[in-house]
Amino acid sequence: MDILRYPFNEICNFRDIGGCYKESGQWLPRGKYFRSSMLFGIDEADLDRLKDLNVQAIIDLRAPKETEKQPNPYRNLLKDYQNINLSGGQDVGRSAQLAKESDDPYFMAIRYLEYCDNYSAIKGVFDQLLSNKAKGWGTVIHCSAGKDRTGVITYLIYKAAGLPLVDIVADYQVSYAYIKHDPRIIKEGHIQNVNRSYPEIMENFNRDFMTKYTSIENYFRHLGYQDQEIEAIKNLLY
């Protein structure tokens, strides 16, 4: 797994969803989709870097109360901005609720499966990814920290592409290293275990996902995709 983080002045945890090998040994190229924390800014050098990377579209996975409190500053500066609330009917405080209710340090695996159950939002994200690819637009997917909601979408992209689980886990677990010193994300007094990206979280989530859906293809069928569309999703990174 060739984890590639791009340096920005104001944005942290901005990484390429690419630059890795499938189980088959086939290389997945870089430069089509990116994952990130909130796009803090605006910074002219950061905007120039986004444009240099051909980032033309933003998919913001945050809930309405988050976007109202902190609107995406780049939403009118690129060709397309879509806000797709991955939390659905659940409040953004659901993760903190789980932290208080569970003795399991890997409780976020429960939340990740709940995100996957929000079929309409997930389908909205993948419809947008397919549309952006057809237009030749690079796309950045982000939430607040770029770890949980963004991590679930990245998992689905990688799972569809045929990445080994160990590489999916490796990509996931580096998020905490990139956000742990950022006070805009790691706030004093908050439940800190919510911010961790333990590898076991992704491993447990993958186990529960496969138990429920049996395969990535079957999951996308639950979303309403036909076989030809599922093949297109598998090839998003090409």
Q: Let me know if residue 222 belongs to a domain.
A: no
The lowest-confidence range among 25-34, 71-80, 152-161, 189-198 is 189-198
- The answer on pLDDT for 152 being more than 90 is yes
**Residues 189-215: pLDDT tens digits?**
555 667 889 999 999 999 999 999 999
72: confidence class by pLDDT, cuts 50, 70, 90: very high
pLDDT given at position 164? 96
Report the amino acid identity of residue 129. L
Instruction: List strand residue ranges (DSSP E) for the chain, in order.
Output: 15-16, 20-21, 27-28, 33-36, 55-60, 80-83, 138-142
Q: What is the CATH number of the domain that holds 185?
A: 3.90.190.10
What is the Cα–Cα distance from 73 to 188, expressed in whole angstroms?
Answer: 24
Residue that has been written with the tokens 């430069």 in this structure: 31
Range of the domain at 161: 11-93+119-190
Q: Let me know if residue 57 belongs to a domain.
A: yes
% of residues, the chain, pLDDT over 70? 94
**pTM of the prediction?**
0.94
Q: Let me know if residue 68 belongs to a domain.
A: yes
